[in-house]
């Protein structure tokens, strides 16, 4: 059950999509929303603080006070129970280190999926994905949250990561009207390929989820494109997947499945490692 929804807020335009997702999840599960606000306050001695280096610590704190007030009122106006936690950090790189232990106590962490214009620090996504032991709920920057999360595609390749994502997604799958376990197979199918995902589908049915298996053909380096295409053709509004492989995000090749899905998924992404 999803009872603690955590979301990073910064007072910018990205908060619209983040809060739309957090609010919708909280409405579905009657959850509590915790907003995390990280205010960068540069050290007065060494001037650290990335884009805020030109501001004095005092000015940065006052600017943070103004943003905190706006965020507090915005959260307070929601229909769900909420609270806001503020952290003054020395630099952008400190955000992920500060967020990690806090996020481990949440059922889900809502953020924007990374892309070339992302308003989300990519190292934050990386550290939370590999360090919390829980899933991330990532949404495109223009997502408004109005589409029901009732048509779910689960990407399955039999890996430990896909098993983690499946387990983390169970609360959502129980609420879905349609669950499709999607297997991407090579053109030359093996006996193992034919059986892939059968046990996953049976496992979901034991949970009372009427899942179906869906098979598509695609080579390994085409997996991300196939997943995106199938999500569109199946009219999915949530994609569940594991972070394939053991590499940190910074080590992933730009064309890897995880990297491409993280940057291009047209629907909200529930991802776990």
Residue 154 pairs in a beta bridge with 181, 240
Residue 33 pairs in a beta bridge with 5, 82
Is residue 245 pLDDT above 90, yes or no? no
Give the whole-number percent of the chain exceeding pLDDT 70: 87
Helix (H, G, I), strand (E, B) or coil at 195: helix
Predicted confidence (pLDDT) per residue in 120-176, tens digit:
777 889 899 999 999 999 999 888 887 899 999 999 999 999 999 999 999 999 999
Walk across the sheet containing 108-112 and list its strands: 82-89, 32-40, 4-9, 108-112, 136-139, 269-272, 238-242, 151-155, 178-185, 211-217
- Residue 90: what pLDDT? 92
- Residue 61: what pLDDT? 94
- Residue 50: what pLDDT? 46
pLDDT, average across residues 205-213: 96
* Angle, helices 160-175/198-206, rounded to nearest 10 degrees: 40
> Mean pLDDT of all residues in the chain?
88
Domain 4-139: CATH architecture, name and number where available: 3-Layer(aba) Sandwich (3.40)
- Where residue 254 falls among pLDDT bands split at 50, 70, 90? very low
Whether 4-139 and 151-272 share one fold: the answer is: yes
Higher-pLDDT residue of 157, 252:
157
Helix (H, G, I), strand (E, B) or coil at 127: helix
Domain 151-272: CATH architecture, name and number where available: 3-Layer(aba) Sandwich (3.40)
Q: In this structure, what token pair is assigned to residue 249? A: 């995000």
- Where residue 253 falls among pLDDT bands split at 50, 70, 90? very low
Predicted confidence (pLDDT) per residue in 23-72, tens digit:
999 999 999 999 999 999 987 655 444 444 456 889 999 999 999 999 99
Give the whole-number percent of the chain exceeding pLDDT 90: 68
The domain limits of the chain are 4-139, 151-272
């Amino acid at each position: 059950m999803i009872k603690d929804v955590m979301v990073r807020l910064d007072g910018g335009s990205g908060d619209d999509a983040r809060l739309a997702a957090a609010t919708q999840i909280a409405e579905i599960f009657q959850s509590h929303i915790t907003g995390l606000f990280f205010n960068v306050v540069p050290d007065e001695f060494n001037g650290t603080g990335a884009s805020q280096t030109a501001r004095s610590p005092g000015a940065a704190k006052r600017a943070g006070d103004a943003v905190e007030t706006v965020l507090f009122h915005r959260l307070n106006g929601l229909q769900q129970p909420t609270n806001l936690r503020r952290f003054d950090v020395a630099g952008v790189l400190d955000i992920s280190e500060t967020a990690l232990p806090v996020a481990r106590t949440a059922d889900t962490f809502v953020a924007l999926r990374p892309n070339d214009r992302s308003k989300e620090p990519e190292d934050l996504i990386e550290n939370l994905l590999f360090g919390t032991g829980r899933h991330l709920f990532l949404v495109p920057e223009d997502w408004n949250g109005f589409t029901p999360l009732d048509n779910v595609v689960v990407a399955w390749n039999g890996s430990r990561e896909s098993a983690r994502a499946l387990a983390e997604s169970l609360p959502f799958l129980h609420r879905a009207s349609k669950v499709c376990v999607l297997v991407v197979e090579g053109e030359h199918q093996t006996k193992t390929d034919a059986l892939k995902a059968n046990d996953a589908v049976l496992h979901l049915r034991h949970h009372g989820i009427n899942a179906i298996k869906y098979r598509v053909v695609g080579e390994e380096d085409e997996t991300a494109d196939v997943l995106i295409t199938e999500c569109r053709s199946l009219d999915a509004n949530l994609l569940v997947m594991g972070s394939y492989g053991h590499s940190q995000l910074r080590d992933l090749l730009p064309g890897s499945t995880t990297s491409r899905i993280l940057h291009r998924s047209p629907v909200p992404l529930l991802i776990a490692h």
